[in-house]
Amino acid sequence: MELTIEKLASDAIAMAHFNGKTVFVPGLLPGERAECEAKEEKSGYIIAEATKLIEASYLRTEPRCPYYSICGGCSFQIVSEKDSAMLKEEIVKDNLRRIAKLDELPEFDAPVYGSFDCYRHRARFHVDFSARRAGFLGRKSSELVEINHCPALSKQLDALLSDCKDKLLRQARSEMFQNRIDRSTGFAEVSAFEGDDAVTMNEVAIPITISGVRYYVSSRVFFQSNPALLPPLFDFVTSNAIGSTIMDLYSGVGTFSALFEGSGKKVFAVEREKECLYLAKKNAPSAISFSSDVALWGRKNKERADTIIVDPPRTGIGDEALSMILSWKPERIIYVSCNSATAARDIGRMKGYRAIKARVFDFYPGTGHDESAYVIVREEI
């Protein structure tokens, strides 16, 4: 079937229509025409694969990585960094219209983007220890793609695939002894994080300094992979937070709580992962920290806040947690999202609140992942 791509859906997957059905095709851009072959057909949509590009978009570029067609790490190296950010902004806006049912979109600041080269300071390697092979899993497969250079990785992480491969193999051996094996592939998984001047591949926390704030992070916890783009996100959060009391829900290692150190504001940090909370207490010592699921903590919470910051997982905010947040009636909610579809769903359920500002942060150029942040205010009723 010949398709003309209408737009990009979540994860930067191209969308078109054919014989009354929606068709999703990875690897194409809006306006492109291509011959496509159906791979999976559902009741309301088709998943297809492009077999021949008939008319290419003027935005299309050649992938920079020689492993692009086989490695599963990056799936959107077909546009420049600037165009990637602009296209993802359109995805975010489309989700707000369709899912949140917003008649009026919030004001969007210009999207934030940076270089694809050497941006990733966090990675998870797959290692076949017996064969001394390391790399990433293949696209849509559990096969190991052996890689000796990844252009997206920071220099010290990239060196683990070549000059410092022995360090990676030693850590893989340690992971095997600790039974940290991907059961579906049999490969050892090694998470690594590069800080200011060192790399950690275990629970040892190392410093990384961003916008004058020193954080301690280990490879066992989540921290943003693209630290170069964190300063504008930090500015978005701090410049839009109001009042004297802040709640930082899903606080992780205290990434946002630490921004208010020395401000005189009262900060509550809630995080269910104890390892994250341990580091949060180090990164944001003046915050009042709680190790709990947000919904469970909310049942006992008697506090109120002027601004609530939420940075939930890709699944978004659970029903109970969202209901509690709204019942506290904060003046503002700052929602930081790694999945604009679930963010739009949650924003659409915030009755009595309105999104007034948003910004897209393309933390993962070369991939279909979009990240965004929203300022949501309480309306007088």
Cβ contact 234:212 at 8 Å: no
Buried b (16+ CB within 10 A) or exposed e, 17-46: eeeeeebbbbbbbbbbbbebeeeeeeeeeb
- In sign, the C-alpha dihedral spanning 166, 171, 175, 181 is negative
Mean pLDDT of 201-215: 96
Whole-number mean pLDDT of the chain? 94
What is the topology classification, in CATH, of domain 2-60? OB fold (Dihydrolipoamide Acetyltransferase, E2P) (2.40.50)
Mean pLDDT of 361-380: 95
Domain ranges across the chain: 2-60, 82-115+226-378, 122-194
Phi, psi of 2 (to 5 degrees): -100, 130
pTM: 0.94
CA distance 229 to 234: 9
Helix residue ranges, H only, 154-210: 155-159, 165-177
Judged against a pLDDT cut of 70, whether residue 238 lies above it is answered with: yes
% of the chain at pLDDT higher than 70: 99
Judged against a pLDDT cut of 80, whether residue 194 lies above it is answered with: yes
Domain 82-115+226-378 sits in which CATH superfamily?
A: Vaccinia Virus protein VP39 (3.40.50.150)
CA distance 115 to 64: 12
Integer distance in angstroms from the first to the last C-alpha of the chain? Answer: 52
Cβ contact 119:155 at 8 Å: no
**pLDDT tens profile 13-32:** 999 999 889 999 999 999 99
**pLDDT tens profile 103-151:** 999 999 999 999 999 999 999 999 998 899 999 999 888 899 999 999 9
Provide the angle, in degrees to the nearest 10, between the axes of the packed helices 340-348 and 81-98: 30
**pLDDT tens profile 289-348:** 888 888 888 887 777 899 999 999 999 999 999 999 999 999 999 999 999 999 999 999
CA proximity to 158, closest of 220, 83, 229, 67: 67
Judged against a pLDDT cut of 60, whether residue 381 lies above it is answered with: no
Domains 2-60 and 82-115+226-378 share a fold: no
**pLDDT tens profile 249-283:** 999 999 999 999 999 999 999 998 889 989 999 99
Beta bridge partners of 21: 18
Residues 6+ apart with CB under 8 A from 159: none
Mean pLDDT of 75-87: 97
How confident is residue 380, by pLDDT bands cut at 50, 70 and 90? low
